[in-house]
Amino acid sequence: AQRVTQPEKLLSVFKGAPVELKCNYSYSGSPELFWYVQYSRQRLQLLLRHISRESIKGFTADLNKGETSFHLKKPFAQEEDSAMYYCALSGGNQGGSEKLVFGKGTKLTVNP
């Protein structure tokens, strides 16, 4: 079964501090992993995908297949990073359709 676990419901850091949002997954095949973000009063939007291996707004995430993890990191948090972050997994089925399975989210608060 596909499962995504975000162990922290809430995470609070000070501006300029490093931040790491944890994500672990369970999937038997080769999943595609994503981080989605929802800022206050905005729609859910894609932050980054593991296959693109890019840094978005200073955030990076590395897929660790051995530890089945896809943690989101930023070396210096900013107040505007305060938001709800969701880790998501996509895995195909026989029909080729790939639904997203989401973790329950981590609310990040960056304090001044």
Partner 1 sequence: KAGVTQTPRYLIKTRGQQVTLSCSPISGHRSVSWYQQTPGQGLQFLFEYFSETQRNKGNFPGRFSGRQFSNSRSEMNVSTLELGDSALYLCASSPWQGSPEAFFGQGTRLTVV
Instruction: List interacting residues with partner 1 (CB under 8 A).
Output: 32, 34, 43-46, 49, 51, 86, 90, 92-93, 95-105
At 73, the amino acid letter reads K
Lookup: tokens for 3: 């499962």
Nearer to partner 1, 61 or 101 (CB): 101
Angle CA(59)–CA(68)–CA(98) in degrees, nearest 5? 80
User: Of 70, 73, 55, 60, which Cα lies nearest the Cα of 17?
Assistant: 73
The answer to whether the CB of 31 falls within 8 A of the CB of 88 is no
Min separation Cβ 53 and partner 1, Å: 14
* Closest CB to partner 1 among residues 95, 112: 95
CA contacts within 13 A on the Cβ side of 15 = 5
Q: Shortest gap between Cβ of 19 and partner 1 (angstroms)?
A: 21
Least separation in angstroms between CB 48 and partner 1: 11
Q: How far is the CB of 30 from partner 1 (least distance, A)?
A: 13
CB nearer to partner 1: give 15 or 90.
90
